[in-house]
Amino acid sequence: MGAVGWFSRKRGKAATSAHDQTMEPATMAHLEEFVSSRRGVEAFIELPTTMARATLLLIAHDGEWTRRSVTSVDWARRFAARHRLPAYDAGVVGYPQRMRDYNARRRAGG
């Protein structure tokens, strides 16, 4: 095989899929527990930056929320689909008012 053929080969999806599966068990358990113990959970996917991996923000009906770093945006979308959660791109739609209201209640001590 010539050098051009060797350098032009695309990597298969197997490497990406294997990487996606390496989620920390504690992170998985936390996300699963949040979804199963709250009502009206929605997923907000935050794209990776040069300093941070992609994150999955889950927000319940009352504004309670949790955020965890995930291996990829695709992993976050699959998690949301598996749990039948509506999934949004946080950079496009922003965050719901109920999350800000929840944070304000927490700061006020209520």
Give pLDDT tens digits along the chain (110 positions): 455 555 544 444 444 444 445 789 999 999 999 999 999 999 999 999 999 999 999 999 999 999 999 999 999 999 999 999 999 999 999 999 999 999 999 999 86
DSSP code, position 64? -
Q: What is the pTM of this model?
A: 0.80
pLDDT at 21: 59
The residue assigned the tokens 């955020």 is: 67
For residue 110, the model assigns a pLDDT of: 65
What pLDDT, on a 0 to 100 scale, did the predictor assign at position 45?
A: 98
Tokens 């599966």, residue?
Answer: 21
Contacts of 41 (CB under 8 A, 6+ apart): 34, 35, 58, 59, 60, 61, 83, 85
Number of domains in the chain: 1
Which one-letter amino acid corresponds to residue 28? M
Q: Could you tell me the two tokens for 62? A: 């009352």
Return the pLDDT at 8.
47
pLDDT of res. 10: 47
Q: Which long-range contacts (CB under 8 A, 24 or more apart) does 97-106 make?
A: 98/59, 98/61, 98/62, 98/63, 99/59, 99/63, 99/65, 100/63, 101/63, 102/62, 102/63, 102/64, 102/65, 103/63, 105/63
What per-residue confidence (pLDDT) applies to 23? Answer: 86
Which range marks the domain in which residue 77 is found?
3-107
